[in-house]
Amino acid sequence: MIRVLEKFGVGVHYNPNQTCCGQMSFNSGFWDEAKAIGEKFIKDFPNDRPIVGPSASCVGYVRNYFPKLFHNTALHNEYKQVRRNIYEFSDFLVNILKVTDTGSTFEAVVTYHDSCAALREYGIKEEPRVLLEHVKGLTLVEMKDNEVCCGFGGTFSVKNEPISTAMAEQKVDNALKTSAEYIVSTDLSCLMHQDAYIRKHKLPIKVMHLADILASGL
């Protein structure tokens, strides 16, 4: 992600002290813990400049749920600044930098998985596809039911393992039917879940994050 951003003249400052945004605690009902982690997150990004993340899930959480934790608190203004400045990677490239062709080269057939967080919480669909379609040597083939959940859902995959596994099976099966070599997404959490199913059953397909595709050949 950093390699791609720097190619287009973006000065990237990485804070090595940054940690989790707190989404896991929040989704599990531990709001006090989520607030404590969120306070650190806000303080880790004190400058009024864009914050770019490779996970639509994390960014969507900050945008949608920090207001529930920090509205009318001592960090009211600070959380609003972070919320205003934070972007998912493909959204930042296409809609802020106005970049659709990163000059990448990746010789493969891929299919794209719409993560629930990207599609339903963050609200992106076309941006990743536009970027993929401009990658030299890459062929994008849409899978059946590409908007259907893969079954990860954070703690859902732990608390509802049989259902989660069945959903992963369905997702991977739809990807295999496209003859794609890779499943691509904006969220490593979904890809991790699908990759576990793929590895266990020794299936002829791999997973790859969008940022890795766009950094190929640069």
Q: Looking at the structure, do residues 54 and 78 belong to the same domain, yes or no?
A: yes
CATH at residue 206: 3.40.50.11810
Q: Looking at the structure, do residues 34 and 49 belong to the same domain, yes or no?
A: yes
Q: Is the pLDDT of residue 155 over 90?
A: no
Alpha-carbon distances of 43 from 15, 17, 47, rounded to whole Å = 11, 10, 9
Which of 27, 60, 94 terminates a domain? The answer is: 94
How far apart are alpha carbons 165 and 197 in whole angstroms? 8
Per-residue confidence (pLDDT) for residue 123, from 0 to 100: 94
Summarised one tens digit per residue, pLDDT across range 179-199 is 999 999 999 999 999 999 999
Summarised one tens digit per residue, pLDDT across range 9-51 is 999 999 999 999 999 999 999 999 999 999 999 999 999 999 9
Q: Looking at the structure, do residues 130 and 47 belong to the same domain, yes or no?
A: no
Specify the DSSP element, H or E, that contains 192: helix 188-200
Q: Looking at the structure, do residues 45 and 150 belong to the same domain, yes or no?
A: no
Residue 67 lies in domain: 2-94
Summarised one tens digit per residue, pLDDT across range 70-128 is 999 999 999 999 999 999 999 999 999 999 999 999 999 999 999 999 999 999 999 99
Whole-number average pLDDT of the chain: 95
